Structure 1
Amino acid sequence: MSWSRWTDPRRLIGAAVLLVVLASPAAAEDVTACGKFKWPLATEKSWFDAATDLKAYASGAAVGELADGALTVATKPMAEIAFALPPEGKPKPDKTAGALLAFDKVVKPGRYLVTLSDEAWIDVVQGGAYRPSGEFSGVHGCPGLRKSVQFEFADAPLTLQLSSASAPAIKVAIRKID
């Protein structure tokens, strides 16, 4: 190769831009923060990144059967939501939004991850009672992922309740893990 090919201004500019992006502390922080979850969330991240393909619901919507995948739910003031049971999370004065989704059936009972794109408290109600949460993993500073909680779902209708949120819409991923 000739020297002039290596000194082409377009190549030099491209190389400089690449170095700036790779050396950016913010990009490094994001990658580091995303790696701090207790379990891998690459599947959920890829679902959330395909945001234009996500089905969007209003709070209170009936979703149908619960299946692996992601969706977006619009939040509204918690005072306007008829929760199946009062949220278990302690109310936060600066986070007054929430959402409710009703699933008709859990086709495959078992352990699931419920992952959110933004901060909110997660309650799952089945058979008129809270489903106890299992392990929890939450990270600040990971773009598009905020928390993930494990739940055991039975073969019955299920209500997903989100509370103490501030975002106008939250992406929710649900994935069977056993």
Structure 2
Amino acid sequence: MTFGRWLLGVGLSAVALAAAPGLAQAQEGSGCGGFRWPLEPERAALIRSDKPSLANGGALALNIAMTLELQPLTSAGLPKAPERAPKLAQAFAGHFALAAPAKPGVYKITISSPGWIDVLDGGDYLHPKAFTGAVGCDGARKSVKFDLPPRPLALQFSDVKDDRISVIVSPDQ
């Protein structure tokens, strides 16, 4: 390999690395139409001001938007460490029981602001089937699809900037 080719390769690598953060952001949509699947019913529920609040450790219901009260990660008492380490130095977190879905299938967990979602089945992580996110959409920031079994589960939210986050768990239509 000649020096010129090597230098060209180094230059192209530097350009690719510099563009990488922008590429990651480009994968997310912009505005409420930027999600990969429709979320208007979930977003409408999440922006309602009369949502019930739920303390850390409480029980979530399906198809009901709720405001979750979170704790600093170090005192949230999560059943298991988040599958992804928090990126925020002062992250908030919480854990909640989810009643058994009436029937197994794919469900969306939609949150109002950035954060990490873990679903635990008997202590094991369930892995998402798909996710979508968009910036600049009032009420909805991220939605993750999970294939849920017909038994009670634990949901953990972590790496949240504020001490509250709104969430709704709804069937994938």
Interval containing the TM-score (normalised by the shorter chain): 0.7 to 0.9
Q: How does 1:116-155 map to 2 (within 5 A)?
A: 116-155=111-150
Query: How many residues are aligned here?
Result: 144
Q: Following superposition, which runs of at least 4 residues in structure 1 exceed 4 angstroms of deviation?
A: none
Relative to structure 1, the CA distance from residue 95 to residue 38 in structure 2 (aligned partners, 3 Å threshold; closer, same or farther) is farther
Based on CA coordinates, which of the two structures has the bigger radius of gyration?
1
RMSD over aligned Cα, in angstroms? 1.5
Verify: 1:102 aligned to 2:97, yes or no.
yes
Question: What residue ranges of structure 1 are gaps of 5+ in the alignment?
Answer: 1-31
Name the CA distance, whole Å, in 2 between partners of 1:49 and 1:62.
Answer: 20
Deviation at 1:68, TM superposition (A): 1.8
The residue aligned with 2:63 is 68
**Equivalent residues of 2:131, 2:142 under 8 A apart:** yes
Question: What residue ranges of structure 2 are gaps of 5+ in the alignment?
Answer: 1-29
Q: Given the alignment, which residue of 36, 39, 50 partners 1:38?
A: 36
Verify: 1:91 aligned to 2:86, yes or no.
yes
**Equivalent residues of 1:133, 1:149 under 8 A apart:** yes
**Equivalent residues of 2:96, 2:154 under 8 A apart:** yes
Deviation at 1:118, TM superposition (A): 0.7
- 1:114 partner SS: strand
Q: Any idea what the Cα deviations from partners look like across 1:113-153, whole Å, max 9, x if unmatched?
A: 00000111000001221111111101111111110000011
**Equivalent residues of 1:123, 1:131 under 8 A apart:** yes
Q: Any idea what the Cα deviations from partners look like across 1:13-60, whole Å, max 9, x if unmatched?
A: xxxxxxxxxxxxxxxxxxx611110011100111112231x1210111
Percent sequence identity over matched residues? Answer: 33
Deviation at 1:95, TM superposition (A): 4.6
**Equivalent residues of 1:127, 1:156 under 8 A apart:** no
Name the CA distance, whole Å, in 1 between partners of 2:163 and 2:78.
Answer: 18
The residue aligned with 1:165 is 160
Deviation at 1:62, TM superposition (A): 2.9
